[in-house]
Structure 1
Amino acid sequence: MTSRRTLLLAPLLACLLAVPASAREITHAMGVTDVPDAPQRIVVLTNEGTEALLAVGVTPVGAVRSWLGDPWYDHIAADMAEVTVLGEESAVNLEVLVSLEPDLILGNKQRHEAIYEQLSAIAPTVISERLRGDWKINMELYTEAAGKGEEGRAALAAFDARIAALHEALGASLEEEISIARFIAGQTRIYFKDSFSGLILDEIGFKRPAAQDKPEFAEEITKERIPEFEGDRLIYFTYETGNGEADTQAADWLADPLWQNLAVVKAGKVHEVSDAIWNTAGGIIAANLLLDDLEAIYGLASTR
């Protein structure tokens, strides 16, 4: 009788025996890896990596599920209809991954260092260093590994051109200090400059309130620190997964007298935006949608 273990190993052995006709060396966070010149069956293990591939016309055969959505963010769902779910960024389903017989795996050291050897035994594996504000650096690595380096650089250049155009169009509005808040189940965070949205705001040229003007990621705060959200504009997003707990957290804080007493709240310059777009997705598609939001907030013409 054929054992279940044998059945699981069969696709793995096929992957190991499949030698690409030609390959390139890619230097990454875990070393140097030979990857096929034109990989056809790519799996990607980060949300921002998924967006990097989609932006250059590559649909992965497998990807980790989006942090929000079932299983994908609304803004990428149409392009991911045929993609196999590989668990989550922090809990990859290796059995399913093996069954897809990939010829390239893209991951991140922060998430996947512990399983790098296992991944490398399945297929050539390329690993980025960090998450948070490094999405551009990571996109260059992912698209180069995928054989789409030129397209990746072009997509990033187009984004940078939008940043420059938005900077120009905003003019004196860039003097405004932008404050960022996030609500999670039982928790509220204040976001700094080494975050997805924080990095983009900094690139555009926006100022940040003194309490948020530091090269760090984020910090959980208590209600006594609500005054630290003061600014010329306040942008907030809520990580609601479906049980209502994050929405409850947001409603409680938004009704608090300290929140209601903020000058920015009294001025009507508070804006609710999508958590997926402003924080969780973390890739180039979300980054462009974030710029769309800013154009709408400031009543500007589209730079698309």
Structure 2
Amino acid sequence: MSLKHLLPIFVGVFALVAPLTASARDVTHAMGTTSVPDAPQRVVILTNEGTEALLSMGVTPVGAAQSWLGDPWYDHIAEQMQGVESLGKESAINLEMIAALEPDLILGNKARHEEIYAQLSDIAPTVLSERLRGDWQVNYRLYAEALGKTEEGNKVLADYEARIKDLSAKLGDNLKEKVSVIRFLASQTRIYQLDSFSGLTLKKLGFDRPANQNVEEFALRVGKESIPDMDGDRIVYFTYDDGDGAALQAEADYLADPIWLQLEAVKAGKVNKVDDVVWNTAGGVIAANLLLDDIARIYGVE
């Protein structure tokens, strides 16, 4: 048989083999080391903060964990997520739906997905991040590496750090305010400390914090007896309400309490309600930039 007749056969064989021999890289993550494609095309992301990471690097996932609030996405990312398959909440991922999407890379989190890691890995190369709170940039860098977009990711982070530096300079003496961060939920109230999404941002900017919040912990879980511990030069609060109104009622009860009304920040008129999604729940780079927007507005330094 001539070379001319063999050529279609070679081409056909190459087409079958090429996907199996596409270049790949080893990525070390919370569960070990995984070989991932150099340029993944069908990415599934199983955390809310990871979704924001992908979007910021110009990657639209084929499937993603549903936002904790929204139907199914947070308002601030809904437009970018059109056509993306919702795979259930972070803690209740639908494996069959993932398999049906035929991803070539799955990104998740050890705390959320360690128990299903083997099943995820049977579907596609799977990389799990380590952190679930605090410094979101650690996970961000891992996602960028897994996507083969380290350069793009570094640019996003550099732009964010530049914003931090610029806003910090504009805030000036405002940074001397001891900012207290409070979250109302239906079942408890939290006083947020440094190892939290909002706490990390305030620390980066250089804000002072009340003594009980100026520690490298996540949050104090308290009740009304701890209202005096919520005071500061300024109070910023947000409320996680899942639609039944219970958390909003808890917020109203606190804000009407006589002891709350005697807090120094309240009497000084330095209390600001902000969006729970932006200040806590979303946890990603897009929310982090929106949080900076909020601080600039609160202090009138836009």
Q: Which bin holds the TM-score, normalised by the shorter protein?
A: over 0.9
CA–CA separation in structure 2 for the residues paired with 1:224 and 1:27: 46
| 1:143-167 superposed Cα distances (whole Å, 9 cap, x missing partner) | 1111211111100000000001111
Which residue number in structure 2 is paired with residue 274 of structure 1?
275
Q: Secondary structure of the equivalent of 2:212?
A: helix
What are the ranges of 5 or more consecutive residues in structure 1 without an aligned counterpart?
1-16
Deviation at 1:188, TM superposition (A): 1.0
Mean alpha-carbon deviation: is it higher for 182-191 or for 200-209? 182-191
Which residue number in structure 2 is paired with residue 222 of structure 1?
223
Matched-pair contact (CA < 8 Å) for 2:46–2:109: yes
Matched-pair contact (CA < 8 Å) for 2:43–2:104: yes
CA–CA separation in structure 1 for the residues paired with 2:19 and 2:242: 41
Deviation at 1:229, TM superposition (A): 1.1
Matched-pair contact (CA < 8 Å) for 1:20–1:36: no
Which residue number in structure 2 is paired with residue 87 of structure 1?
88
Matched-pair contact (CA < 8 Å) for 2:131–2:138: no
Correspondence 1:116-195 to 2 at 5 A: 116-195=117-196
Correspondence 1:94-109 to 2 at 5 A: 94-109=95-110
CA–CA separation in structure 1 for the residues paired with 2:204 and 2:124: 36
Correspondence 1:1-304 to 2 at 5 A: 19=20, 21-301=22-302
Over the matched positions of the two proteins, sequence identity in percent amounts to: 64
CA–CA separation in structure 1 for the residues paired with 2:135 and 2:62: 24
| 1:69-102 superposed Cα distances (whole Å, 9 cap, x missing partner) | 1110000000111100111111110010110000
TM-score normalised over the length of structure 1: 0.92
CA–CA separation in structure 1 for the residues paired with 2:186 and 2:61: 31
Deviation at 1:212, TM superposition (A): 1.1
Report the residue type matching 2:169 in the other structure. E
Report the residue type matching 2:271 in the other structure. V
CA–CA separation in structure 1 for the residues paired with 2:121 and 2:288: 30
| 1:111-164 superposed Cα distances (whole Å, 9 cap, x missing partner) | 111111111111001111111113101011101111211111100000000001
Q: Secondary structure of the equivalent of 1:189?
A: strand
Deviation at 1:22, TM superposition (A): 0.6
Q: Structure 1 runs of 4+ off > 6 angstroms? A: none
Deviation at 1:19, TM superposition (A): 2.6
Q: Secondary structure of the equivalent of 1:78?
A: coil
CA–CA separation in structure 1 for the residues paired with 2:128 and 2:207: 32
Higher alpha-carbon Rg: 2
**How many residue pairs were aligned?**
285
CA–CA separation in structure 2 for the residues paired with 1:126 and 1:219: 32
Report the residue type matching 2:167 in the other structure. L
Report the residue type matching 1:293 in the other structure. D
Matched-pair contact (CA < 8 Å) for 1:226–1:259: yes
Deviation at 1:20, TM superposition (A): 5.2
Matched-pair contact (CA < 8 Å) for 2:36–2:125: yes
Report the residue type matching 1:190 in the other structure. I
TM-score normalised over the length of structure 2: 0.93
CA–CA separation in structure 1 for the residues paired with 2:61 and 2:265: 43
CA–CA separation in structure 2 for the residues paired with 1:223 and 1:125: 44
